[in-house]
Amino acid sequence: MSETPSVTSAPVEVWITGIGLATSLGEGLDANWEALNAGQINVDEKGFAPYIVHPWAKVNLEAQIPKKEQRQMEAWQRIGTYAAGLALDSAGLKGNKDILSRMDMIVAAGGGERDISVDTAILNAEAEGNCTPGFLNDRLMSDLRPTLFLAQLSNLLAGNIAISHGVCGTSRTFMGEEVAGVDAFKIALARIAGGQSDIALVGGSHNGERKDLLVLYEFGDYNLKNEFKPVWARKEHPGFALGSAGAFLVLESKPHAEARGAKPLARLSKVVADRARRKEAGAVTGTLDRLWSALDVHDAPGAIITGATGAEPVTSEERAFLDHHKAFAVRSSGTRFGHTMEAHFALDLALAALSISRGALFAPGDSSGVESEMKEAPTQIVVVGAGHYRGEGMALVEAIK
């Protein structure tokens, strides 16, 4: 292990040796794969009407999280901790104290859910004329559950993964919406490739069934309303449907994986990120073009998995970029899973690695003409992420020959 890494001249090859997926389409790789190929989409058009969300497919939480720990978490932490456990299972690392105790972790996270009933009650009481100086203090002191804070703190998803699964080498939490997920993988890859780390658990989680998040995105009119449509068919009524997913990957240096006999699913060859100055029209297209050229993408046939949100103008700008690569088969994960914000890039990387490992790209998800059949086994898949408001990223996932 590289406690005190020295500089290595050639970058170390980085493999994806584990994937954990718990999404609105189900739990585990088989369930998600089958649902994708069957064209399933799990949307709730009523529970949060007029807003549309993708609810998390229920699981037996106890399979991954001890009951007493579940009680300390809110949904977004349970989703993520559950998916992290699946990733460790998939990599054959569950319970391997030797490796887990030095495993690095980078989590892309937002914050935890508010107690909506407490907030609503306080606001109503204020509206009824309770406006003494100490009113808010008194209500917060008496109404907030003391442990709620820990279920809200961004870095406590990582904390819960450490507690439930024993991943306790290092732990870093990146925030900042979609691109936090890109940066999490960029840094984890760079650290392993540069000899600063051998193995890392990287991913994120998102619970889309949250009215407090709908409030935040409604400020910018970003929520998809009234009727579900695929991402590519939202131009007239742009927006995203919040999704629910936990997605974690185990990244590992090739020598470390080989030494323990781990089987790679795919190679993570490159992750790049940037921040377009979006005030200028065309900036996102230009940035995506530049990021593409920083990847070593062979000629078509190839595939692109994108986390395009359906928000505008960014989705149209991304389509202009995709038009430069018409020979590539495109898949929008946002249509299938909704928009899972900080977790979305991890979700897309998981889908790319899964597709590589299964020797096929999953079926197209809409009839707009953007997504076409792909008959060949993909050897390279480019993952694209352009945040609804800012931040762009891309990754190259490749088959290991």
Q: Which of residues 209-238 bind other proteins (CB under 8 A)?
A: 211-212, 214-223
Pairwise CA distance, residues 185 & 290, whole Å: 19
* 390: contact with other proteins by CB under 8 A: yes
Question: Residue 133 belongs to what H/E stretch?
Answer: none
Pairwise CA distance, residues 336 & 340, whole Å: 11
Residue numbers 7-46 binding other proteins by CB under 8 A: 7
Contacts 24+ apart (CB under 8 A), 228-231: 228/41, 228/43, 228/45, 228/52, 230/332, 230/335, 230/365, 230/366, 230/368, 231/308, 231/309, 231/310, 231/315, 231/332, 231/334, 231/335, 231/366
185 vs 232 by CB, closer to other proteins: 185
56 vs 345 by CB, closer to other proteins: 345
Q: Kindly state the smallest distance separating residue 228's Cβ from other proteins, in Å.
A: 18
Segment lying near other proteins (by CB under 8 A), choices 52-60, 80-88, 143-151, 229-237: 143-151
Q: Cα-flanking dihedrals φ and ψ of residue 120, to 5°?
A: -65, -40
User: Could you tell me which residues come within 8 angstroms of residue 34 by beta carbon, excluding any fewer than 6 positions away?
Assistant: none
Estimate to the nearest angstrom the gap between the alpha carbon of 371 and the chain centroid.
21
Q: Kindly state the smallest distance separating residue 375's Cβ from other proteins, in Å.
A: 35
The only residue of 10, 67, 68, 141 in contact with other proteins, by rule CB under 8 A: 141
Residue numbers 44-73 binding other proteins by CB under 8 A: 51, 72
Cis upstream peptide for 301 (omega within 30°): yes
Q: Kindly state the smallest distance separating residue 364's Cβ from other proteins, in Å.
A: 30
Joined together, the tokens standing for residue 19 give 């994937």
Cβ–Cβ < 8 Å for 386, 182: no
* Nearest residue to 88 (alpha-carbon basis) of 148, 17, 36: 17
User: Could you tell me which residues come within 8 angstroms of residue 173 by beta carbon, excluding any fewer than 6 positions away?
Assistant: 106, 107, 108, 109, 154, 155, 157, 158
Question: Residue 266 belongs to what H/E stretch?
Answer: strand 266-274
Joined together, the tokens standing for residue 6 give 């020295």
Residue numbers 337-376 binding other proteins by CB under 8 A: none
Segment lying near other proteins (by CB under 8 A), choices 38-46, 150-158, 309-317, 330-338: 150-158
The only residue of 43, 190, 295, 400 in contact with other proteins, by rule CB under 8 A: 190
Segment lying near other proteins (by CB under 8 A), choices 29-37, 158-166, 314-322, 365-373: 158-166
225 vs 235 by CB, closer to other proteins: 225
The only residue of 1, 38, 63, 144 in contact with other proteins, by rule CB under 8 A: 144
Residue numbers 257-316 binding other proteins by CB under 8 A: 273-275
Segment lying near other proteins (by CB under 8 A), choices 36-44, 206-214, 294-302, 318-326: 206-214
Most distant CA pair in the chain, distance: 70
Residue numbers 114-133 binding other proteins by CB under 8 A: 114, 116, 119-120, 123-124, 126-128, 132-133
Residue 302 DSSP class: -
> Coil, helix or strand for 180?
helix
Binding mask 86-105 for other proteins (x = CB under 8 A): -------------------x
Binding mask 164-183 for other proteins (x = CB under 8 A): --xxxxxxxxxxxx-xx-xx
144 vs 300 by CB, closer to other proteins: 144
Segment lying near other proteins (by CB under 8 A), choices 86-94, 154-162, 359-367, 375-383: 154-162
